Structure 1
Amino acid sequence: MDTTFPRLLLRHAAERPDAPAMREKEFGIWQTWTWSRLVLLVRHIACGLHQAGLARGEHIVVIGTNRPRLYATMLASQALGAIPVPLYQDATAAECVFPINNADVRFAFAEDQEQVDKLLEIRSQCPQLAGIWFDEPRGLRNYLAAGLASLDSLAEEGRAFAQLHPDFFDTEVGLGRPDDVAAMFFTSGTTGHPKGVVHTHRTLLDRGRAGAEFDHLTSSEEVLAYMPPAWIGQNIFSYAQWLACGYVVNCPESPDTVMIDLKEIGPTYYFAPPRVFEGLLTSVMIRMEDAGAIKRAMFHGFMNVARRVGPALRDKRPVGWLDRIEYAIGDALVYGPLRNNLGFSRVRVAYTAGEAIGPDLFSFYRAIGINLKQLYGSTETAVFVCMQPDDQVRADTVGIPCSGVEIRVAENGEVLVRSPGLLKEYWRDPEATAQAKTSDGWYHTGDAGFLDAHGHLKIIDRAKDVGRLADGSMFAPKYIENKLKFFPYIKEAVAVGDGREKACALINIDFEAVGNWAEKRNLPYAGYTDLAQKPQVYRLIQDCVEKVNADLAADEKLAGGQIHRFLVLHKELDADDGELTRTNKVRRGFIAEKYAVLVDALYGGRDEQYIETQVKFEDGRTGSVSATLKIVDARTFAPVRAAA
């Protein structure tokens, strides 16, 4: 699109000043921000930032949850030609040092006391960090740090400046160009320092518009913004597409109230990574465990109907009238109430992305009448590369290339992309930029995949992760892990086996789901570590593993990747301990090194292994967790040969 974010803001404010732009829930009440109210705040913050010395082309850090005032700060920065850099609000103070120094950040916006404390803690390591503004004043009354002030005071200074210079803001917005840098996102890489992905107004808005046109989005959509703004998925859906379409973005009161707020808003356009859909399904299954026998029987009976009939109805394929009647009864008694309970009654389009989703998990939501689809993209491609049309949705593909995108598969199976949404560069890393982008504009995704006969892209795994067992069988760890994570009792899994004679797995139980299961069986436990090592829990997880093995046996290419041995970890994998990225992707290499003694025990034929692991608590303290972990063999199955 031949425009910029601040220009779109001004256009919406001029065309429909009293229409809602955002809503924010405070003290249990939804507060509406109109376009005219929002643009006034942006104008005042921009003038205040100008007086503070923010220069065109300079970076400013924004750290916090989704809030109208956080979005206003980003827009105000862009109005001056500066570049907002959103950071993950759950990042530790130490994790903020590299991006702040790498981008020469002098100014930062922090949502509350927690974020202010982080920035003050690292100030000695970031001497150029001169100004910090906060939104929520609670707990900050007696803070006397130099350069620390409230956003209200900044906006008030800007209001006074705007009265003396009424044309300043509009003039600055007019100086902006579509090819100016609009934002920088630091990737939460699985290895090494994160890289700053540089995007322009044109790249972000072009992809935002392409996605909107694909699904016929309008200004009447309702969106819930609850994922970190530092994740480009959230940024595209609730910032770029918000300004491209002019729909309403709703900000939950807190992370703890997201499910309640989801039901109250009833979004029409919804986006979540697979782990959110996994968590929702787990909560459903826990509730069904608590239900009476009749209700459980009705649920499972109608779910069998849904799995058989629902996807075909969603894809408008022929369905017999008896099946239609049975599904309609199920919709009245089970699927409709379930959608309402999840907050999905009004969802017209729902997407999942960020990593592969298990086919069983994906099919569950479509079966109960939710138009859940997959899309494919990354931070570097501004999200939208492939999308699934409403009538061509399959669990094993991520759709067709959307507007302006070309796809090519290299000889080694890596997917290459050429698109108007490609990153401009990696900040201060010309070597990485040259490796990622060819001279003729092709981006190396690092994913292994292929285009099927219908033109749909199928992603197998990360190219670097797809391996071979010692006998030459294909080993796709992510595919195996996703199948394991479909079960409500398994929260995370790490499959190992590349170059070895068989596949094994390290598993995290879902503490809530397994705890609920244990309590119903009067099985006492004293915390996660104790519960994880109960023999009854091992039998529960073994049943899940063996069901996955049976499924893998039916896949000719992946039958050799069945899990022969597994163990249940003594602690949950955690981003604070370096085991996951901030977007909850497994840091496979780090885990293999950290838990090498466990991997060796899996392949050494041992029945148990002692381990002690250092952990970091939420308050910054460190401690250790130790346990003797059991190691169990799982039943495997002969490959099912396809009929001749």
Structure 2
Amino acid sequence: MDTTFPRLLLQHAAHRPAAAAMREKEYGIWQALSWRDLAQLVEHLACGLHRAGLARGEHMVVIGANRPRLYATMLAAQALGAIPVPLYQDAVAAECAFPINNAEVRFALAEDQEQVDKLLEIRDQCPQLQAIWYDDPRGLRNYQAPGLAALDTLLAAGRAYAAEHPALFAAEVERGAPDDVAAMFFTSGTTGQPKGVVHTHRSLLDRARAGADFDHLTDREEVLAYLPPAWIGQNIFSYAQWLACGYVVNCPESAGTVMIDLKEIGPTYYFAPPRVFEALLTTVMIRMEDAGAVKRGMFHAFMQLARRVGPALMDRRPVGLLDRLAYGLGDLLVYGPLRNNLGFSRVRVAYTAGEAIGPDLFTFYRSIGINLKQLYGSTETAVFVCLQPDDQVRADTVGVPIKGVEIRVADDGEILVRSPGLLRGYYKNPQATADVLTPDGWYRTSDAGFIDAQGHLKIIDRVKDVGRIRGGPNDGALFAPKYVENKLKFFPYIKEAVAYGDGRDRVCVMVNIDFDAVGNWAERRNLPYAGYTDLAQKAEVYELVRDCVEKVNADLATDSRLAGSQVSRFLVLHKELDADDGELTRTNKVRRGFIAGKYQELVDALYGGKTEQFIATQVKFEDGRTGTVSATLRIMDARTFAPVQAAA
């Protein structure tokens, strides 16, 4: 799109001034902000920032959850030609220092006391950070740090400055160009320091528009913005597409009220990583197991019908009259109430991405009438590379290339992408930029995959992670750890899995159980436990996990390419993997190499034939304190299967 974010804001304010742009839930009540009021708010913030000295081309950090005034601040910075840099609100203070110093940030907006505390904690490391404004004043009344002020103070100054210079804002917006840098997003840093991904107005808005056209989005959509704004997925759905389409973005009251807010809003356009859909389904299944026999029986009977008929109806394939009538009855009694309970009664398009989603999970949502689809993209591609057309939705692909995208598969299986949405480069990192962008404009995704006969893209794993088994009966066999991990995570009882096997004679796995799902399973069997560590090491839980592992092995045995990736041994970790402990990225991706080093004694025990291993691990609590979790972990063998030819 040949425009900028602030220009789109002013267009909406001119053409639909009274229409709702955003809603925020405060004290249990939804408050609407019109396009006209939003434009005025942005103007006053921009004038305040201009008066404070924010310069064109300069970076400004924004850290917090989805809030209208945080979005308005990003727009205000862009209006001045400055570059907003959203940071993850759940990042610890030390993680914020590198982006702030790397981008030479002088000005920051923090949502609340928690975020202010982080910025003040690292201020000695970031001497150039001169001004911090906060949105929510609770708990900050007695703070006296230099340069710290309420956002209301900035607004008041901006309002006065705008009255004195009424033409400034419009003139600054007009100076902006589509190829100016619009935002910078820091990658999650799976293998080292995060990198600042530089995007222009053109790259972000081009992909936002391409995605909107693909799914026929209009200004009548309702979106719930509940994921971190620092993650480009949330940023595209609730910022770039919001301004491209002009629909309404709704901000929940807090992380704890998201499920309630989801039901109240009833979004028409929804996005979540597989983990969220897994958690929702786990909640449903736990409630159904606790229901009466009649209700439980009706649910399972209609769900059996839904799995057989629902996906065909969603894909507009022929379905017999009796099945249609039976499904209609099920929709009245089970599917409709279930969609409503989940908050999906109005969803027209729902997307998931970031990780593979289990076929059973995927089928469940589509079978009850939710148009759940998969997409493929990354921070560097402004998200939208491949999307699934409504009548071509499959669990094992991530869709077809959309408008403007070219895909090529390199000789080593790596997916290469060329698109108008590609990053301009990594900030202050020309070597890293040269590593991912070829001279003729192709982006190296680092993902291994192929295009199938129907033109859909299939992703196998990260190129660098695809390895080989060395030694033993499977010597030379292909090993794709992410593929194995995702298959294990398809089971509701397994939350995370970390697989090892490259250069070794067999595959071994460390598992995190899903505490809620396994806890409910244990309670229904009168199995007492005193917390996660105790539950994880129960013999019964190990048998439950082993059953999941062996089902994955049986499935892998049907794939001649990956039969050698079957899991020989596993253990259940004594603690949940946590981003605060460095084991996950802020987007909840497993840091496999870091975990291997941290738990080297467990890896050695798995491959050394031990049946148990004691370990003590330091953990970091939410309040910043540290402690130690220790346990003697069981190590169990799993049955593997001879490779068989998959059924045609």
TM-score range, shorter chain: over 0.9
Structure 1 counterpart of 2:495: 491
Q: CA deviation at 1:154?
A: 0.3
Alignment check: 8 A CA contact 2:274 2:353 kept: yes
Render the CA deviation track for 1:101-134: whole Å, top value 9, x for unaligned: 0000000000000000000000000000000000
Structure 1 counterpart of 2:98: 98
Structure 2 counterpart of 1:433: 433
Structure 1 counterpart of 2:265: 265
Q: CA deviation at 1:144?
A: 0.5
SS at match of 1:306: helix
Structure 2 counterpart of 1:450: 450
SS at match of 1:18: coil
Render the CA deviation track for 1:469-523: whole Å, top value 9, x for unaligned: 2322222222222222122211111122122222221111111121222222222
**Pairwise mapping of residues 224-243 of structure 1 onto structure 2 (< 5 A)?**
224-243=224-243
Structure 2 counterpart of 1:78: 78
Structure 2 counterpart of 1:159: 159
**Pairwise mapping of residues 29-108 of structure 1 onto structure 2 (< 5 A)?**
29-108=29-108
SS at match of 1:403: coil
**Pairwise mapping of residues 90-489 of structure 1 onto structure 2 (< 5 A)?**
90-470=90-470, 471-489=475-493
Q: Which amino acid aligns with 1:490?
A: I
Q: CA deviation at 1:364?
A: 1.6
Structure 2 counterpart of 1:609: 613
Q: CA deviation at 1:324?
A: 2.1
Match of 1:529 among 526, 530, 533: 533
Alignment check: 8 A CA contact 1:416 1:444 kept: yes
Alignment check: 8 A CA contact 1:272 1:352 kept: yes
Deviates more, 1:165-174 or 1:283-292: 283-292
Q: Which amino acid aligns with 1:606?
A: K
SS at match of 1:124: helix
- Taking the aligned partners of 2:307 and 2:551, their CA distance within structure 1 comes to 18
SS at match of 1:384: coil
Alignment check: 8 A CA contact 1:85 1:185 kept: yes
Q: CA deviation at 1:155?
A: 0.4
Q: CA deviation at 1:286?
A: 1.3
Alignment check: 8 A CA contact 1:356 1:478 kept: no
Q: Which amino acid aligns with 2:124?
A: S
Render the CA deviation track for 1:516-539: whole Å, top value 9, x for unaligned: 222222222111111111111111
Deviates more, 1:570-579 or 1:613-622: 613-622
Structure 1 counterpart of 2:556: 552
Q: CA deviation at 1:643?
A: 5.9
Structure 1 counterpart of 2:582: 578
Alignment check: 8 A CA contact 2:559 2:646 kept: no
- Taking the aligned partners of 2:48 and 2:180, their CA distance within structure 1 comes to 22
Alignment check: 8 A CA contact 1:64 1:88 kept: yes
* TM-score computed with the length of structure 1 as normaliser: 0.98
SS at match of 2:633: strand
Structure 2 counterpart of 1:500: 504
- Taking the aligned partners of 1:310 and 1:87, their CA distance within structure 2 comes to 40
Deviates more, 1:465-474 or 1:273-282: 465-474
- Taking the aligned partners of 1:539 and 1:295, their CA distance within structure 2 comes to 29
Task: Say if 2:597 is the partner of 1:588.
Answer: no
Q: Which amino acid aligns with 1:505?
A: V
Q: Which amino acid aligns with 1:491?
A: K
Q: Which amino acid aligns with 1:172?
A: E
Deviates more, 1:499-508 or 1:324-333: 324-333
Deviates more, 1:107-116 or 1:600-609: 600-609
Q: Which amino acid aligns with 1:74?
A: M
Q: Which amino acid aligns with 1:171?
A: A
Alignment check: 8 A CA contact 1:358 1:479 kept: no
Q: Which amino acid aligns with 1:271?
A: F
- Taking the aligned partners of 2:618 and 2:531, their CA distance within structure 1 comes to 17
Q: CA deviation at 1:640?
A: 2.7
Residues 150, 543 of structure 1: CA spacing in aligned structure 2 closer, same or farther, 3 A cutoff?
Answer: same
Structure 1 counterpart of 2:572: 568
Deviates more, 1:291-300 or 1:503-512: 291-300
Structure 2 counterpart of 1:599: 603
SS at match of 2:453: coil
SS at match of 1:464: helix
Residues 559, 330 of structure 1: CA spacing in aligned structure 2 closer, same or farther, 3 A cutoff?
Answer: farther
Alignment RMSD:
1.1
SS at match of 1:281: helix
- Taking the aligned partners of 1:435 and 1:100, their CA distance within structure 2 comes to 24
Alignment check: 8 A CA contact 1:233 1:383 kept: yes
Alignment check: 8 A CA contact 2:436 2:443 kept: yes
Which runs of no fewer than 5 residues in structure 1 stay unpaired?
none
Residues 4, 601 of structure 1: CA spacing in aligned structure 2 closer, same or farther, 3 A cutoff?
Answer: same
Alignment check: 8 A CA contact 1:285 1:488 kept: no
Render the CA deviation track for 1:331-364: whole Å, top value 9, x for unaligned: 2222211111110110000001112222222222
Alignment check: 8 A CA contact 2:112 2:136 kept: yes
- Taking the aligned partners of 1:335 and 1:484, their CA distance within structure 2 comes to 27
Alignment check: 8 A CA contact 2:131 2:148 kept: yes
SS at match of 1:98: helix
Structure 2 counterpart of 1:26: 26
Q: CA deviation at 1:321?
A: 2.3
Structure 2 counterpart of 1:621: 625
- Taking the aligned partners of 2:566 and 2:449, their CA distance within structure 1 comes to 21
Alignment check: 8 A CA contact 1:492 1:508 kept: yes
- Taking the aligned partners of 1:444 and 1:467, their CA distance within structure 2 comes to 19
- Taking the aligned partners of 1:173 and 1:449, their CA distance within structure 2 comes to 42
- Taking the aligned partners of 1:333 and 1:559, their CA distance within structure 2 comes to 43
- Taking the aligned partners of 1:429 and 1:312, their CA distance within structure 2 comes to 49
Q: Which amino acid aligns with 2:53?
A: G
Render the CA deviation track for 1:241-264: whole Å, top value 9, x for unaligned: 000000000000000000000000
Alignment check: 8 A CA contact 2:522 2:528 kept: yes
Q: Which amino acid aligns with 2:291?
A: A
SS at match of 2:623: coil
Q: Which amino acid aligns with 1:332?
A: L
- Taking the aligned partners of 1:147 and 1:465, their CA distance within structure 2 comes to 46
SS at match of 1:541: helix
Structure 2 counterpart of 1:538: 542
Q: Which amino acid aligns with 1:402?
A: I
* TM-score computed with the length of structure 2 as normaliser: 0.98
- Taking the aligned partners of 2:194 and 2:92, their CA distance within structure 1 comes to 14
Which runs of no fewer than 5 residues in structure 2 stay unpaired?
none
- Taking the aligned partners of 2:529 and 2:365, their CA distance within structure 1 comes to 33
Alignment check: 8 A CA contact 1:611 1:628 kept: yes
Structure 2 counterpart of 1:516: 520
Q: CA deviation at 1:431?
A: 0.3
Q: Which amino acid aligns with 1:543?
A: D
- Taking the aligned partners of 1:372 and 1:495, their CA distance within structure 2 comes to 28
Render the CA deviation track for 1:614-642: whole Å, top value 9, x for unaligned: 11111111111111000111222333324
Q: Which amino acid aligns with 2:155?
A: A
